[in-house]
Structure 1
Amino acid sequence: MGLFGNYNDIGIDLGTATVLVYVRGKGIVLREPSVVAVDRLSGRMLAIGEEARIMLGRTPGNIVAVRPLREGVISNFHDTERMLRYFLRKVIGKRLFFKPRVVVCVPSGVTEVEKRSVIEATEEAGARHTCLIEEPIAAAIGAGIDIGAPQGNMVLDIGGGTADMAVISLGGAVISDSIKIAGDTFDEYISRYIKKKYNMLIGERTAEEIKINIGSAFPRKEEAYMEVTGRNLISGLPKTITISSNETIEAMQEPLNRIMETMHSVLERTPPELTADIAENGICMTGGGSLLYGLDRLLTERTKIPCYVAEDAVSCVAIGTGKALESIDVYSAGAVYDYRRGDYYNQGY
C-alpha cells in the first residue's frame, strides 16, 4: 500500500484562521476555527474551534481565547498540539492503534525550525508520520491546475496569516514568496482606520464582519454601508457609526499595496517563457482573503494579467492536500516534503 496507502491518511490545512481536515476517500470532513479557550489558572482547555471562537473578546479574566497560530506559523506549541489532538480524535475517533499518516500545509517561506515545529506538534497530537506540502502548490492542485505540465501557472493564496504566491511548472515552485499580510491584517487595518477617524474602538470579530460584509479592494457599482457599534474612546460609552465600502478601500490600501509589490517582485524574477504562459493562463487566486470584493479586478488592473478566483477558494488548499495524499507518487517530484528523510517523498521510500 506504500507510505500513504491507508484509509486513515489525513491532509491538514493548518490555517491561521481555520483548520480544514481532509480524510482519504471521504473528502473534507472538518472545518473549524483555529481558536482555543484556556483557563489561565489551571491551564485546562475549556473549548476548541467554533465554541472557542464565540468567546473571542468576551471572556472573563481567568479565561483567555486565543489563536495558537499566527502569521501562518505556530506561536503556541502546547495549545496547537492540544487543538490538533482534539481535531484528529474528532475525525478518526479514539482508535489510537490506527495512527494516521498526515500531510500538512505550510507557507512557502517557513524556516526549518518552523517546519520542525509543525511536524512535532502533529506527531505529538497522534500522527504516525508527517510530511509537508507548500500552500501555493496545494492550492494549485486543489484549484484543478495541472502542476506537472511543462508550462507556467501562477497562484496567489491569501489566507488568514500569510499571502503565498508561486510560479509553478513541472510539479514544483520555480519562484515563490510569502508575506505575513493577509486576512487578519485587513481586519487590523480596518480597526485602526475606525479608531483614527471616528475615535472608536471595535473588536476583532466586528472588524472581520465589516471586511466580509462591505470590505472592498475596488470601488463597487453601488456603494455599500454598514452600521458598526464600538466603544467611544473619548466618553468610554457605546457608539454606533455607519461606514461605507469606499472607506474600507482606504483602510486596506497599505496591506493591498504590499501584496501587489510582492507579486510584482515574483513576476520580475520569473523566466520569460513562464511569464508568457502566465499571461495566457491568468493568475489563480485562492484562500479566504481572495474573496475580498474587487481584489481580482484590482490585481488585473495593476499587473495587466487576467486574475480569477478559484471555485471554492477557501477549501482549495485542503482539497489539494487531499489530492496530493491520494496520488502521492504523482506529486512527489517537488511537492510533498518528507522532513525525516530531508527530501521530497518518492516512490522508493
Structure 2
Amino acid sequence: MGLFSFLTQELAIDLGTANTIILYNEKIVVDQPSIVAIDQSTGKMIAIGEQARAMHGKTHENIKTIRPLRDGVIADFNAAEQMIRGMISLINTKNPVFTPSLRMVIGIPSGSTEVEIRAVRDSAEHAGGRDVYLIYEPMAAALGIGLDVMAPEGSMVVDIGGGTTEIAVIALGGIVCNKSVRIAGDGFTADIQAYMRQQHNVKIGERTAEDIKINVGSALPDLENPPADYIVRGPNLMTALPIEVPVSYQEISYCLDKSLSKIESAIFNVLEQTPPELYADIVQKGIYLAGGGALLRGLDKRLSEKVNIPFHVAEDPLHAVARGTSIAIKNLSFPFLMR
C-alpha cells in the first residue's frame, strides 16, 4: 500500500474559464490562464497558459489560440484535454521518467448538465486521471473560504468566475438551492469592448478590455479610493488612425451596470427559494463572495445595499475554489463528491 500511495499523485484542479489552478500537497503549483496555442497544420499544442495568452490576438494563419472552456464548461474537447495534460506536465517536469498515477478532484459549475459533466470527466481521464472526483464550484468555494459546510446551518456563497456566476445556499454537506448564471468576468470584458466601440469609437481586443477591468473596473460610480484613469490606445473605427482615450472608473461602473443587475436578480431568486430557517442564518452570517469577479471595486458594498444583507469578500477570492478542491481531496468521504 505504501508503494501504491507513493505512485499516486493527488491533484486538486480548479478548471476555470479564465484560469486553471492546480494544487499539489496543498500548494499552488500551477496558476495559468486557460488558453492553448495550437499549430494548425499538425494539431499539436505549441504553448500553454501565459505563453499562449501572450500570443492571443496576435497569431497568423498557422497558429490558433483556443480557450477550451466557455461559460464554465468545455467547448473544445480536444483542446481541453491537451490543456489539462499540458498543465499537469508543468508539475511533473522534475521527474520525466516516472509518471505517477493521478487522482484528481475537479471543480465544475453547479448548473452543469450530464453531458457537460461527462466532458470534464472524459477530458481528465484522457489526460491521465485514474480516479476522477468532481465537486460543484460553490461547495468548493465554501470549503476554501473556511465555512463549515457539514454544519446544520445555512451558508450562502456567490462565486463570480470567468464564465459563470455560481450562487448557492449550503447546509449539512449539500446544496439546498442554487443558481448558475452565465454572466461573469468574460461578460464584463465583452461589455467593456462594446462600450469602448459605441462611446469612444475605438476598437479594443479581449486583453485590453481585461486590463481596463483590472485597472479601473468598478461596481459603484462613487468610490472612496478611486483609481486613476486608464489610458487606452487603439484604432479609431471611422478613420483607422490611432487614438488615445482616458477611461474612468465611473464609465466602467455604468457599462457593467446591466450585467451586475442580472447577478443581483439571480441572488434574489436564490434567496426566495431559501427555507426560512436557513434564511435567518444567512442574514446573521452574511453572504460570501469568491472568484475573480469578487475583486471588482465596490461590489460587496453595492450588493449589501441592494440585498440588505452584509456581503464579505473571501480572503483570497481567486483561489477559494482551488483551495476547496484541495481540502476535498484529503477527505474523499465527503458526501458531495461525485465519482
* TM-score, length-scaled by structure 1: 0.92
2:69 is the counterpart of 1:69: yes
The one-letter code sitting in structure 1 at the alignment partner of 2:66 is V
Shift of 1:151: 0.3
Q: Distance in 2 between matches of 1:163 and 1:212?
A: 18
Q: Distance in 2 between matches of 1:258 and 1:26?
A: 35
Paired residues of 1:8 and 1:92 also in contact (CA < 8 A): no
2:135 is the counterpart of 1:126: no
Segment of structure 1 superposing worse, 270-279 or 54-63? 54-63
Report Cα offsets for 1:77-118 as digits up to 9, x if no partner.
Answer: 001101111111222344665211111100000000000000
Structure 2: 5+ residue stretches without partners: none
SS in 2 for 1:29: strand
Q: Output aligned runs, 1:268-347, within 5 Å.
A: 268-329=272-333, 332-333=334-335, 335-338=336-339
The one-letter code sitting in structure 1 at the alignment partner of 2:41 is L
The one-letter code sitting in structure 2 at the alignment partner of 1:54 is A
Find the counterpart in structure 1 of residue 10 from structure 2. 9
Shift of 1:197: 0.7
Q: Distance in 1 between matches of 2:79 and 2:11?
A: 20
SS in 2 for 1:41: coil
Q: Output aligned runs, 1:202-217, within 5 Å.
A: 202-217=204-219
Paired residues of 1:36 and 1:52 also in contact (CA < 8 A): yes
SS in 1 for 2:278: helix
Q: Distance in 2 between matches of 1:59 and 1:184?
A: 21
SS in 2 for 1:146: coil
Q: Distance in 2 between matches of 1:139 and 1:299?
A: 19
Determine which of 240, 243, 260 is the counterpart of 2:264: 260
Paired residues of 1:287 and 1:313 also in contact (CA < 8 A): yes
Shift of 1:55: 0.8
Report Cα offsets for 1:102-148 as digits up to 9, x if no partner.
Answer: 11100000000000000000000011121100000000000000101
Report Cα offsets for 1:274-324 as digits up to 9, x if no partner.
Answer: 000000000000011110000000110110000010011100100000001
Paired residues of 1:71 and 1:161 also in contact (CA < 8 A): yes
Q: Distance in 2 between matches of 1:191 and 1:141?
A: 35
The one-letter code sitting in structure 1 at the alignment partner of 2:118 is R
Q: Distance in 2 between matches of 1:240 and 1:67?
A: 29
Find the counterpart in structure 1 of residue 58 from structure 2. 58
Find the counterpart in structure 2 of residue 226 from structure 1. 230
Paired residues of 1:105 and 1:138 also in contact (CA < 8 A): yes
Q: Distance in 2 between matches of 1:90 and 1:46?
A: 14
* TM-score, length-scaled by structure 2: 0.95
SS in 1 for 2:179: strand
Q: Distance in 2 between matches of 1:5 and 1:270?
A: 42
Q: Distance in 1 between matches of 2:258 and 2:170?
A: 27
Q: Output aligned runs, 1:190-209, within 5 Å.
A: 190-209=192-211
SS in 1 for 2:338: strand
2:246 is the counterpart of 1:242: yes
The one-letter code sitting in structure 2 at the alignment partner of 1:239 is I
More helix by share: 2
Find the counterpart in structure 1 of residue 37 from structure 2. 37
SS in 1 for 2:129: coil
Identity over aligned pairs, percent: 45
Paired residues of 2:168 and 2:179 also in contact (CA < 8 A): yes
SS in 1 for 2:64: strand
The one-letter code sitting in structure 1 at the alignment partner of 2:231 is E
Residue 221 to residue 33, structure 1, CA distance change in 2 (3 Å): same
Q: Distance in 1 between matches of 2:62 and 2:275?
A: 55
Paired residues of 1:200 and 1:233 also in contact (CA < 8 A): yes
The one-letter code sitting in structure 1 at the alignment partner of 2:20 is V
